[in-house]
Structure 1
Amino acid sequence: MEIKRKNKVSLGMLFLFTLLLNLVLSPVKVDAAETGQNYTIATDVTFAPFEFQDEDGNYIGIDVDILTAIAEDQGFEFELRPMNFSAGLQALESNQVDGMIAAMSITPEREEAFDFSDPYFDAGPVMAIREDNDEINGYEDLDGKTVAVKVGTTGAELAAELQEDYDFEINQFEDSAGMYEDVVARHSDAVIEDYPVMAYAIQQGLELSFPTNPEEGDSYGFAVNKGANPELIEMFNAGLVNIRENGTYEEIVQTYLGDSVQPGQSLGFFGLLQNNFGNLMSGLGRTLVLTLISFAIALVAGTIIGLFSATPSKVLNVIADLYVTVLRGIPLIVLAFFMYFTVPQLLGIQITAFMAGVVTLSLNTTAYIAEQVRGGIAAVEKGQLEAARSLGLPYGVSMRKVVLPQAIKIMIPSLINQLVITLKDTSILSVIGIVELTQTGRIIIARSYQSGPMWIIVALIYLIIITLLTKLSNLIERRLVAND
């Protein structure tokens, strides 16, 4: 009894710890005033120099600094919600965020769905190639080649237009750093992106060059959903006028695009790890919190549904089979989008990205644990249950006292394996704005343009955690065998 009591206390402490850690690692809130309205703003934090994260974990860039200056001028507060560009558009359309600032071009198509502020920056797309590529000198040389673009951007639109005249393939990416690296790694021959972004990347050491001049520019605007938050657009426009007049706007632009901008330095493996250790540990913390909370919920729910499969009741069998079939048949990324974008629209509510992530992982993991519970029970000889029933024990007592203890020993390795899978599945949740370990790596790459060393670091962190979980599984299994 004392051991069980200690285990309950330990589980309680673990639950409290995860809740506290979640509070510590909540999305970044940028305070512009002590009072006033607080807004949630979506942004793409892998789009330097407009939005990215510095080595201290602060969100900076032309867009972020402009929004911060306007918030200070107009007396409102905002919280940044980092996610990829296309997911940000979906979040804005489903009212999961109040606004979006992500170097977003004002186009007639987008104006049908969103309300835009006055333009705050003009830029046009440009094509870039590897520095050592002497085969491409213009668009006409793209025949038979591959061009990398970012989903939903004007660069992607330009590539689609060029594809009507030239025979080339398009590789689509969710972040800028990914498509740059695709070109450097020779998987794509060219990339089309907004000129200031590409120029900044080259200035920071990316080995690309421009064979053509930039196209005619589009205007960037701050966006809200159609008919929503008109006061936010008004404050943005009024603040933009003020920061242009007092010189703040020009100072911000020169900070990132002026002649005084220092080129980036290659830090190498250990330098990259040392400079970003805190950010990586924060990302790991979010990963562990999501994993532990989701798995704990799924363990309870999965056990219940697994027991449904093992009962003589046909109705409960059908319920369990239906749940497992549906949830295992839906890809996790689709489920994440459904929970975060579709459910709020259907129910007229708002849910946080963290809550949507926990629900997504829990629903998915529950289906697999249910099957593991069913399989564990099925692995116990039927004679065990029959013998217990013949002694006059009710079905429920027979399952609880005789079958389940044996089934649990059989299930331990597969449950630990499922915990490892859930840990790795958290990386998918970056699509709805959760900055877990993998997304943290992407953000660092967007700033440093050192994808090789960073992905090795992220892989090693996952490897260490998963190895520890595997050792734990082996230890538990040995102790259970020793107690037989």
Structure 2
Amino acid sequence: MMFKFDFLGKYFGKFCEGASITLGISAITVFLGIILGSILFFMKNSNVKIGKFNPLRIISSVYVEVIRGTPMLLQIMMVYSGSKLIFGIDISAFTAAIIAISLNSAAYVSEIVRAGIEAVDPGQLEAARSLGMKNSMAMKLIIIPQAIRNILPAIGNEFVAIIKDSSMASVIGVGELMFSSKIVQGATYLSLEPLMIAAVFYFMMTFLLGRFMGYVERRLKQSDIR
């Protein structure tokens, strides 16, 4: 079987354009996911009660379970279709993908934040309290800076996962890398070769990001030793 890659000269720019959109979607959604995930974590650990119930904790727990228990593809399609039907807002496919993937990422990031903070020695918080610090100040000045070192590698893994999962946005017409490969398939009448090129692009993005995050993690460990 002979593979034909002579189309690359004409369509290489299309793959590069799709890869740049994929990276853009991933960077934006990871950033928003970190913010929303942190909010979910603090909601889950809040002490606000109405009677015997803690509404913030219930809302955040239900949200995390629902998001983690349903496919991202379904969530993307529901945001894209539901925004018009339910809220009367006609949003673009790109915006719908950003919203859906960010909401999905937030559920996972909230658990990453929880695990990172719980990994910090509880004695640190007790020591801060004994010095007269409030919980909020102790979290801000002592716990969170240490937790970031625990969280960062997992956030890197989440970034890698989103780069790959963002391919699902192609089903609603977002012009990311997978969508670009479909366009090239239609233009060249080749089924496999455009997908192979897309696979190379995905691998390069995730490989380089993984190596960068590994470098950052080693630097953080070296600073701990010092």
In the alignment, what sits opposite 2:134? Answer: 394
**Aligned 8 A contact 1:306 1:372 in 2:** no
Picking from 278, 284, 287, the partner of 2:19 is: 284
In the alignment, what sits opposite 1:302? Answer: 37
Picking from 83, 90, 93, the partner of 1:353 is: 93
**Aligned 8 A contact 1:309 1:321 in 2:** yes
With normalisation by structure 2, the TM-score equals 0.91
In the alignment, what sits opposite 1:175? Answer: none
In the alignment, what sits opposite 1:403? Answer: 143
- Aligned partners of 2:30, 2:201: CA distance in 1, in Å? 20
Deviations 1:267-310 (A, max 9, x none): 822x2222211111111111111111111111111112123334
- Aligned partners of 2:35, 2:87: CA distance in 1, in Å? 26
- Aligned partners of 1:316, 1:349: CA distance in 2, in Å? 27
In the alignment, what sits opposite 2:112? Answer: 372
In the alignment, what sits opposite 1:473? Answer: 213
Deviations 1:142-163 (A, max 9, x none): xxxxxxxxxxxxxxxxxxxxxx
Q: Which has the higher helix share?
A: 2
Q: Which has the larger radius of gyration?
A: 1
Task: Look up the SS of the partner of 1:457 in the other structure.
Answer: helix
- Aligned partners of 2:57, 2:128: CA distance in 1, in Å? 22
Q: Does 1:462 align with 2:202?
A: yes
- Aligned partners of 2:22, 2:127: CA distance in 1, in Å? 45
Task: Look up the SS of the partner of 2:192 in the other structure.
Answer: helix
Alignment of 1:307-386 (within 5 A): 307-313=42-48, 314-386=54-126
- Letter of the 2:31 counterpart: A
- Aligned partners of 1:289, 1:472: CA distance in 2, in Å? 17
The answer to which structure, 1 or 2, has the higher relative contact order (CA under 8 A, 6+ apart) is 2
Q: Does 1:431 align with 2:171?
A: yes
**Aligned 8 A contact 2:83 2:91 in 1:** no
- Letter of the 1:397 counterpart: M
- Aligned partners of 1:419, 1:307: CA distance in 2, in Å? 22
Task: Look up the SS of the partner of 2:86 in the other structure.
Answer: helix
- Aligned partners of 2:127, 2:45: CA distance in 1, in Å? 17
Deviations 1:365-409 (A, max 9, x none): 011001100111111121111111111100001111111111111
In the alignment, what sits opposite 1:213? Answer: none
Alignment of 1:18-417 (within 5 A): 268-269=4-5, 271-313=6-48, 314-417=54-157
- Letter of the 2:4 counterpart: G
Deviations 1:13-55 (A, max 9, x none): xxxxxxxxxxxxxxxxxxxxxxxxxxxxxxxxxxxxxxxxxxx
- Aligned partners of 1:373, 1:318: CA distance in 2, in Å? 18
Q: CA deviation at 1:312?
A: 4.7
- Aligned partners of 2:83, 2:195: CA distance in 1, in Å? 33
- Aligned partners of 1:378, 1:433: CA distance in 2, in Å? 41
- Letter of the 2:67 counterpart: L
- Aligned partners of 1:391, 1:309: CA distance in 2, in Å? 27
Alignment of 1:440-451 (within 5 A): 440-451=180-191
- Letter of the 2:13 counterpart: G
- Letter of the 1:386 counterpart: E
- Aligned partners of 1:402, 1:276: CA distance in 2, in Å? 52
**Aligned 8 A contact 1:385 1:398 in 2:** yes
Percent identical pairs in the alignment equals 35
Q: Does 1:420 align with 2:146?
A: no
- Aligned partners of 1:312, 1:405: CA distance in 2, in Å? 23
Q: Which has the higher strand share?
A: 1
Task: Look up the SS of the partner of 2:174 in the other structure.
Answer: coil
**Aligned 8 A contact 1:295 1:365 in 2:** yes
- Letter of the 2:187 counterpart: R
Q: CA deviation at 1:318?
A: 2.3
Q: Structure 2 regions of 5+ residues with no counterpart?
A: 49-53
In the alignment, what sits opposite 2:51? Answer: none
- Aligned partners of 1:302, 1:432: CA distance in 2, in Å? 25
**Aligned 8 A contact 1:310 1:377 in 2:** no
With normalisation by structure 1, the TM-score equals 0.43
Task: Look up the SS of the partner of 1:348 in the other structure.
Answer: coil
**Aligned 8 A contact 1:354 1:434 in 2:** yes
**Aligned 8 A contact 1:310 1:317 in 2:** yes
